[in-house]
Every structure is written in C-alpha cells, then in structure tokens.
Copies of this chain bind each other. A is one copy, B any other.
Amino acid sequence: MATYTPPLRDMQFVMHELLGVTDELRAMPAHAEMDADTINAVVEEAGKFAAEIAFPLNISGDAEGCALDHTTHEVRPPKGFKEAYAKYVEGGWPALSCDPAYGGQGLPITVNQCLYEMLNSANQAWTMYPGLTHGAYECLHAHGTPEQKAAYLAKLTSGEWTGTMCLTESHCGTDLGLLRTKAEPVGGAADGRYRITGAKIFISSGEHDLAANIVHLVLARLPEAPLGSKGISLFVVPKFLVNADGSLGARNPIFCTGLEHKMGIHGNATCQISLDGAEGTLVGQPHKGLAAMFVMMNAARLGVGMQSLGLTEVAYQNAVAYAKDRVQMRSLTGPKAPEKPADPIIVHADVRKMLLTARAYAEGGRMLSLYTALLIDRELSHPDETVRQEAADQVALLTPIVKAFLTDNAWLATSHCMQVYGGHGYVKEWGMEQYVRDARINMIYEGTNTIQSLDLLGRKVLGDNGAKLKKFGRLIAEFVEDEGVDEAMQEFVNPLADLGDKVTKLTTELGMKAFANADEVGAAAVDYLRVVGHLVFAYFFARAAKIALAQRDSGDPFYAAKLATARFYFAKLLPETAGLIRSARAGSKVLFEMDEALF
C-alpha cells in the first residue's frame, strides 16, 4: 500500500533554478561537459532504481531482518537484498561519483546526493550497504597507499566489494580514545602487515552475502601507542585477503559474532565483530587514524542527513495520500465533500499542519543538502585553491547542521506523518511506524546530535572566532540587502534579517560566556545548532520564495506550492527559534545546580 515517487521536479528546481549547479560545475575541469539534461536524466534513472528495486523490499526487509549462522559466521540479509544489490552494481550506480582513474563515472557529488536521497526514501536499511562502501572508497582514495588504492578502489568503485567502518567498542563510541583493539606488526617495517585483535560492536553492514569481499576500515592501537585519541591508527582489513593479482585469498579472521536487535533498520546487519589476529595494513600515518577516519566520518555524517531527508520525503508522500483518501469528521467550516460520509482529513487544519511540517522539512533539507553537495564539488574540483578552501570551510560549518538538524527534523516529521494515520499509523500494516523507528538511529550514529552541536558551536563557530559563520552570514546579508527593496519579499526578508541579527548576538554572548566557563558551550550547543539550522533553512526558503514569486504568473502550480510552503515555514516552524534562543541563553548554572547524587 505504501508508495514512493521520486521528487524529480523539486530536485530540478533546487539544482537548476535555486543553485544553478550546471554553470558552477562547468567551471570545474572535471565537470566541464555537464549539462542539465544529463544531470536530470541520470537522476531520473536513479529514481527508477530506488522506486522500483529498493522500495519494494523496505517493509519486508524490516519484518524479516538479518540472520546469523553462528557456525559459519555468515549473515543472510532479508530476501531480495542480494538481488537488488546485484542490479545496483550492474547499473553502475556505485561508480556514479567515483574517480574515473578507478573505473568511476566522475559525476558530481551533487548528482550522487540526489541518488542517495531517493535510495534512502526507498529503503534506508538496504542503502546502508552501498552507503558505507562509498565512505570506505573516499577514505582510501584520500589516505590509502598506492598499493591499497590498487587493491581496493576499483572493486569499491564497481561495488563488487563493500566497505565498513569498525570504530565502536562496547565501552566506547563517542570517546574513541578509550578503544582497546590492538594491531601488532607481522614482520619488520618493510613487511607492512599487522595482526589486529579486538572486539567491535555496532558495525553496520558488517557481514552479509551481497558482495564477494568486505573491506573493513578498523581503528586500533599500535604497540606503545600514546594513550587516548592520539594513539589510534587506521587499518584496512579485508574479509578475504587480496592476492597480488587481485584475486581473493584466505579468509581473514574478522568474524561476525552476533547481530544487534534494534529498534529499526532491521534489514541492515548491525554486527558484533571479532578480530582474532586479522591481517591488515596501515592507512595514513601511525597514531593519526582518527584524522584519516574523519574523511569517512564526514562523508557518513552527510550521508546520515540524506537518510533522514529520504525518510522525511517518503513519510510525507504516504501521509498525504492517506489524508486525501481517509474520510473522518466534517471540516470545522462546514462539509467540503458533502457527497461522502465525511470529509477527507486533509481539510482539517492540524492535519495540514503536520503534513506541511514534513513537506517544509523535506524541501528545506533538500536545499541545504544539495547546496552542501555543490560545495563539496567545489572543494574537490574547482581550479582555484582559494575557492576550494572557502568551500571546504563552508562544508565544515554545514556538516554538523546537515547531520543533526535534518535528523531531528525527520524524527519530528515522521512522527507527525504517523500521527496523520491515527491508530493505523501505529500498526505495521501501513509502513509508517517503520519510518519513525528507522529515523531514530540517525540522531545517534556517526556522532550523536549532541556531539554535532558541540562540533558546530565549539569547534566550527567559536573555534575560529566565528569566521566561517560570518561568511555564511554575509550571504544572508547580501540577500537581505538585495531583496529588502522588494515589497513582496518583506514577509521573508524581515524575519530572516531579524534572526540573522539574533544569531550574531547569541554567538557573541555564548563566546564571552564560554571564555569564562567551558560548560556554557555544552549547555547551549543543542539549542544553538537548531537555531542556526533554522537560519540556514530560512535563507534558502527566502531564496526559493523569490523564484516562486517571479514565476507566479507562469501558471505552473509548482511555484504556488513552493510559495505556500515557504510561507508556512516562516509562520509556523521558524517561531521555534524564539524559545530556543531563550533556552540557549539560560546558561549552564541550572544544569549543574543539582548534585549528581540527587539525580
């Protein structure tokens, strides 16, 4: 009964009308041939894969889950996952934005972002298999030795092999400095091989039968490594060793010893992994493993934002279909469908509010994430070093916002969409409660949303005295100045300018307080991130409204809907910032007044 239609029109709007990606991309030598038709055609095909192949396996995958054979340590994902993955590889999708040097198609990250939004709408649990693979590719592409690149990158690009991130241990997740897994050199320095021993947990896609080999990226400690996070190194540890000719060798002793029983994402194998002297090679410098892993982690954080954007969109689409079909009560202003026994529930104000909340969070998330993707394309491919660095700074600023704001929003939005169904939302039949359960993990993994907020306020904003934030603020100030004279834009420009001023003041105030007491950062960070997230959304919705206003006589209802959504966002969602700013300003004292023993 569940449905999914790729939101191609809105993606095209964001890419071409809002961001003008084609012109931007064509200024980069790697993408000089890009044109809108090519981008749109690829995204449309990607949507077909998502809707026709991945989506039909979503509810069944949740119901079935994964199974571990404790004797062979092999894991069987839900029925159909392997076949869908084979089609994904056959279609060349893993290679979409990979380096042509390794068989990639070299398309922009912007296009890849569209693919991932749709895959996650279709089936988050399934998408985590190729998703983590892409992260492993990026990490090895950035930090691998020539030998590692030769051994792994072509296979990860094609998708013949998949990847994982093996970070968490049972006693440490956020605080990786505590980890205990050990790596011991096999021979002399020339040998380059290590034997790795330890136990990891929460390893997504850690074991499965989708691919011939699994490339694990594992954090471990070298002998005599310094304590804490400065003593952690990164290793690549394949499930099957790779012979010099690229063929598969012996089974490496890195085994799945248990599957986690989780609230959601049942179709993904979340593994306990035991390394019993597994052979691996060092990635990057000794003791600098966290830095190398952060390439993968940053990609993963943006990927998690895409997961939540995808869930928001698909939950919205289904809730709308239900709200148009389900009849219940009459409108408070009198019957709207007198020929029916009751009105479709979409006539009720709060049902509309719940639907529009999800819609606005999907559209806002899409604008922010495609903007960020375009920045990554700049960072990777722009010929001008200064532009690349500026783009990298903006990506650094926006990454925690994409991760935390989009995932918090999806939790709100999927819950609202489920509420539209009433009791029918709480039963599994309609698939809505699965979106809520799946969405919940996104607030936790790849750095909890609290960690994201500390990264934003502590490191990205206060860490450089607000320089990165000011650059984003200048975009807003320019827009406000340009549009401030347009009467029709006042309803958007005024609250945007007002919130921009408030964020500036709040940032200054928190910086001063943090100077005296570091706990002030922790006390305000979560509220602060949400305020800045709204500022970013408000900026993009104002820009979208400007385009929609210019097209209002076009007769294309898309623009009427865009304008209505922007107005809803400003009227009903942006006001949350009023309470958040008060809470952010309330300081740390009320959090620390209570003695630990009294909790």
Interface residues of A (CB under 8 A from B): 168, 172-175, 177-178, 201-202, 260-264, 270, 320, 323-324, 327-329, 331-333, 341-342, 344, 346-353, 355-356, 359, 411, 415, 418-419, 422-423, 425-429, 433, 436-437, 440-441, 443-445, 448-450, 453-454, 517-519, 521-523, 525-526, 557, 560-561, 564-565, 567-568, 571-573, 575-580, 582-583, 586-588, 590-599
Most B CB contacts (10 A, CB to CB) among A201, A560, A572, A573 go to A572
Chain B's closest residue to A434 (CB) is B263
Contacts of A270 in B (CB 8 A): 427
Counted per complex, copies of this chain come to 2
The SS class assigned to the A binding surface is helix
Nearest CB in chain B to that of A178: its residue: B341
Q: In the complex, are the beta carbons of B594 and A174 less than 8 A apart?
A: no
Candidates B202, B572, B582; contact of A583 at CB < 8 Å: B572
Residues of B within 8 A of A350 (CB): 450, 453-454, 522-523, 525-526
Q: How far is the CA of A210 from the CA of B177 in the complex (A)?
A: 52
The residue of chain B having its C-beta at the shortest distance from the C-beta of A453 within the complex is B350
A594 x B356 contact (CB < 8 A): yes
When chains A and B are docked, how far (Å) is the Cα of A453 from the Cα of B350? 10
- Selected A-B contacts with CB under 8 Å, 11 pairs: A262-B433, A263-B426, A264-B426, A333-B518, A333-B519, A350-B523, A353-B591, A356-B590, A564-B590, A568-B591, A571-B587
Q: How far is the CB of A583 from chain B (nearest CB, A)?
A: 5
- Assembly CA distance A448 to B345 (angstroms): 13
- Give complex CA distance A227, B443 in Å: 48
Residues of chain B within 8 A (CB-CB) of A342 are: 175, 177-178
Alpha-carbon separation in the docked complex, A344 to B599 (Å): 13
Please tell me if the beta carbons of A565 and B594 are within 8 angstroms of each other in the complex: yes
Contact yes or no, B575 A436, CB < 8 A: no
**Given known A-B contacts A262-B426, A332-B522, A350-B522, A320 and B599 have beta carbons under 8 A apart:** yes
CB–CB A333/B448 < 8 A:
no
Find A560's partner among B168, B201, B331, B595 (CB 8 Å cutoff): B595
Cα distance A355–B596 in the bound complex, in angstroms: 11
